[in-house]
Amino acid sequence: MIPVKGYSGQKVAVLGLGRSGLTTARALRAGGAEPVCWDDNPAARETAEGEGFVCADLRRQGAFEGVSALIVSPGIPHLYPEPNPVVAAAIEAGVPVDNDIGLFFRSFAGPEWDEFDTAPRVVAVTGSNGKSTTAALIHHILTESGRPSQLAGNIGRGVLDIEPGADGSVVVLELSSYQTELARALTPDIAVFTNLSPDHLDRHGGMGGYFAAKRRLFAEGGPDRAVIGVDEKEGAFLAGQMSEGAADDRVIRVSVTRKLTGPGWQVFARKGFLSEYRKGRQAGSIDLRPIKGLPGAHNHQNACAAYAACRALGLAPKAIEAALHSYPGLPHRSQIIAEAGGVTYVNDSKATNVDSAIKALSAFKRVRWICGGLEKEGGLAALNDAVGEVIKAYVIGREAAAFAMQLKVEAEVCTTMAAAVERAVAEAQEGETVLLAPAAASFDQYDSFERRGEDFVAEVTRRLAE
C-alpha cells in the first residue's frame, strides 16, 4: 500500500466505495488522515464500516465543514453531463476535489529513494483504444527482462494498493480519461498516448473536452519522455506541443499508417514490421506478423507504443523482441479462444465503440461477426467502410433490429449471445473467423464488457463440445 501524504490529522472525504474508493480510504488512514466515507449503496457503506471507517452522508448541509479535500471515484461525474451533488457541494464550499491518481503521484516518492542506485519510474498510458494492451505489454516486457514491475490503475491493482517503489522498479499505469481529468497531480516519468476516437463524450462535454482530459497527462506534469501516436490530428498536435523541434527526442512519435522520417525519434509499423529510427538512422526492427498475441494493425500500434516506452527505459531491442513473442494477450481483446474445424473463434468484447470494432475487423479475414449492444454517440456509419471481410453479421442486444438495419452487410437479428453463437458456429466454414466485436456498450444485456465476453466464451465452448 502507498500511504497518502499531506493529510495527517486532517479529515478527508471519500465519495464512492468501490475498489478504488475503499483502497483510497485505507491509504488515507495509513497516512494518518481521518477518512469520512460515503456511497449511495448501503452495502458499500456497510463494508466500509466493517473496516472501522466512519460513514457520513456527504449530501447533508454543512457536510464539508472541517474537511480538507474530497476524493472522488472515477465513475462519478464532477462537471458533465451534470456534477454529482456531493461534488457540487464540495466545490461550493471551496474544498479541493481530487482522485486516487492525484494522491498516488503526490505520495509515491519517499526519502528512502535517496539510497537507491536507480530511482523507481512511473509509466502512464492513456488513449481511446489499446491502452490496456499497451500497459499490460510494457509490464510483460519489463518482467520478462528482469525489471521489477507493477501494473495498476485502470487495469490490475488500484494505484494506492501497490507496493512502495523499490530500487530500479517500474510502475505501469493505465489511465482513463475519467482518471486523468480530475487528478491534481500527474507527474509520470514516461507518458504514452495511443490514439483518440470518440468515446465518453457526454462525460467530457464533447470531443474537445475528451481530448483535453487525455492531454492533461502530458501538460500537467511534463514527463521526461512522451510516446505519442500521431495517426490522428490530436496526437500530431500533442506531439508538436510537447516538442521543442524536429530533433527533440524527448518525444517519440508512433504510427501504423506511414513511415515516419526526420531527425527525431520514431517507431512505426508497416506491413507487419516494426521499425525504430533515431537521428535519421534505423536502431531496431521486429517482424510482428508471427506474434499470435498481437494480431492486426491496432495491436501493432500497441506494440510500437510499448516498444518505445521500453526503449525509453533503456531496454535493448532484442530483449523487447523476445518478450513480445511470449506475450499471451489480454482477455476480451482480440483473444483467440478456440480453433476447431479450421475456424478461429476470437473474443474482442472490449471493442465497445465503432473505432475499436473497425480495428478488430481489419485484423482478420473472412469474418462472421457478432456485434450489437447499447449504441454509442455518432452512429454506425463508419463501420460500413470496414466490413469488406465480413461474410455475415449476427446482431445481439435489445435493439438488435435497429442496429442491423444500419449495416451494409448481410445481418441476422439474433438478440441473444446464445442464438448468435449457435448460428455463427453452424454456418462457419474452414478458414473463417467467428469474431465478437460488438461496436457497442454491453449495459443493455450485461453489467460489463467482461461479462459479455465470458458469455461468448461459454457459448462457443458449449457449442464446440456438442
Number of domains in the chain: 3
Residues 310 and 366 in one domain: no
Annotated binding site for ATP: 127-133
Q: Which residues on adjacent β-strands are paired with residue 347?
A: 335, 436
Within a domain: residue 131? yes
Strand 433-436 to 367-371 pairing: parallel
Within a domain: residue 2? no
Q: At which residue does the C-alpha cell 460500413 appear?
A: 384
Within a domain: residue 103? no
Residues 194 and 85 in one domain: no
CATH of the domain at 52: 3.40.50.720
| Single residue among 78, 98, 118 that ends a domain in this structure | 98
Annotated binding site: 127-133
C-alpha–C-alpha distance, residues 397 and 150, integer Å: 37
Residues 200 and 288 in one domain: yes
Q: Which domain holds residue 431?
A: 335-465
Q: Is 146 exposed, middle or buried (0-12, 13-18, 19+ CB in 10 A)?
A: exposed
Within a domain: residue 5? no
| Single residue among 98, 130, 149 that ends a domain in this structure | 98
Within a domain: residue 173? yes
Within a domain: residue 6? no
Nearest to 355 by CA among 129, 135, 125, 127: 129
Cell of 79: 462537471
3-state class (DSSP) for residue 22: helix
Residues 199 and 137 in one domain: yes
Within a domain: residue 399? yes
| Single residue among 325, 345, 369 that ends a domain in this structure | 325
Residues 197 and 304 in one domain: yes
From first to last of its 466 residues, what are the pLDDT tens digits of the chain? 999 999 999 999 999 999 899 999 999 999 999 999 999 999 999 999 999 999 999 999 999 999 999 999 998 999 999 999 999 999 999 999 999 999 999 999 999 999 999 999 999 999 998 999 999 999 999 999 999 999 999 887 899 999 999 999 999 999 999 999 999 999 999 999 999 988 788 899 999 999 999 999 999 878 999 999 999 999 999 999 999 999 999 999 999 999 999 999 999 999 999 999 999 999 999 999 999 889 888 899 999 999 999 999 999 999 999 999 999 888 898 899 999 999 999 999 999 989 889 989 998 999 999 999 999 877 888 899 899 999 999 999 999 999 999 999 999 999 999 999 999 999 999 999 999 999 999 999 999 999 999 999 999 999 999 8
Q: What backbone phi and psi angles, to 5 degrees, belong to 225?
A: -135, 145
Residues 213 and 293 in one domain: yes
CATH of the domain at 388: 3.90.190.20
pTM confidence score = 0.87
C-alpha–C-alpha distance, residues 8 and 153, integer Å: 24
Residues 197 and 165 in one domain: yes
